[in-house]
């Protein structure tokens, strides 16, 4: 004899009628479906939380890296900046479309013109550093380097009407 389910046994015993048995069957099916939906929603919420955590960790790492680069740049500038305290000659340059002025010695002026030295910005002030250091800084953040003169740009254009007139080295503007 085949085993009867609890529902069938209760029907045979007359403890429940067919209507109640169907209702209980539907309720069980609904609970299983609801349990599956709840489980799927919990899994989806867990996946979304993992994604948010990963994004947050990535943003925090990017912020740490940005701060580390800023610290490296500051250290490079502080360690390699040249003393301009005795500078009496004004050296003009442009930064963000504005003409800026720093005071340098005659020797620093020549080296700035030849491209051996460069001007960098540090916390709204300008410092003079060797070009090699400025190139290392530019690898980290180009916006910090304000001026590096390239001596190879002194090539004369054939169509230049002022090509016959050389600009004196000691010209100050």
Residue range 40-53, pLDDT digits in tens:
888 999 999 999 99
Under a CB-based contact definition with an 8 Å cutoff, are residues 10 and 4 in contact? no
The fraction of the chain above a pLDDT of 90, given in percent, is 28
pTM equals 0.58
DSSP state of 65: H
Q: In terms of Cα–Cα distance, which of 148, 101, 154 is closest to 129?
A: 148
Tracing tokens 């960790």 back to the chain, one arrives at 57
Does residue 36 surpass a pLDDT of 80? yes
Confidence of residue 61 (pLDDT cuts 50, 70, 90): very high
* Residue 46 host element (H or E): helix 18-80
Under a CB-based contact definition with an 8 Å cutoff, are residues 123 and 109 in contact? no
Looking at the DSSP bridge assignments, the partners of residue 125 are 122
In Å, what is the CA distance from 98 to each residue of 10, 121, 135?
94, 14, 23
Per-residue confidence (pLDDT) for residue 71, from 0 to 100? 92
Under a CB-based contact definition with an 8 Å cutoff, are residues 112 and 129 in contact? no
Q: List pLDDT tens digits, range 1-27.
A: 567 677 677 777 776 777 777 777 677
Residues 6+ apart with CB under 8 A from 101: 90, 91, 92, 93
Q: How far apart are CA 49 and CA 43, in angstroms?
A: 10
Tracing tokens 């929603």 back to the chain, one arrives at 41
DSSP state of 154: G
Q: How far apart are CA 162 and CA 133, in angstroms?
A: 35
Q: List pLDDT tens digits, range 99-116.
A: 888 999 888 888 888 888
Q: Which of 58-72, 80-94, 103-117, 148-162 has the lowest mean pLDDT?
A: 148-162
């Amino acid at each position: 004899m085949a085993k009867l389910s609890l529902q069938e046994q209760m029907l045979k015993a007359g403890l429940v009628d067919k209507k109640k048995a169907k209702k209980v069957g539907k309720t069980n099916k609904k609970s299983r479906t609801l349990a599956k939906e709840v489980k799927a929603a919990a899994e989806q919420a867990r996946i979304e939380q993992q994604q948010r955590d990963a994004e947050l960790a990535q943003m925090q790492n990017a912020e740490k890296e940005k701060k580390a680069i800023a610290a490296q740049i500051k250290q490079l500038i502080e360690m390699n900046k040249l003393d301009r305290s005795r500078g009496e000659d004004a050296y003009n340059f442009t930064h963000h479309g504005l003409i800026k002025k720093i005071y340098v010695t005659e020797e620093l002026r020549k080296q700035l013109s030849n491209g051996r030295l460069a001007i960098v910005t540090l916390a709204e002030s300008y410092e003079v550093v060797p070009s090699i250091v400025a190139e290392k800084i530019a690898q980290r953040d180009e916006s910090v380097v304000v001026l590096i003169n390239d001596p190879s740009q002194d090539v004369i254009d054939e169509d230049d009407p002022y090509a016959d007139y050389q600009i004196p080295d000691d010209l100050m503007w």
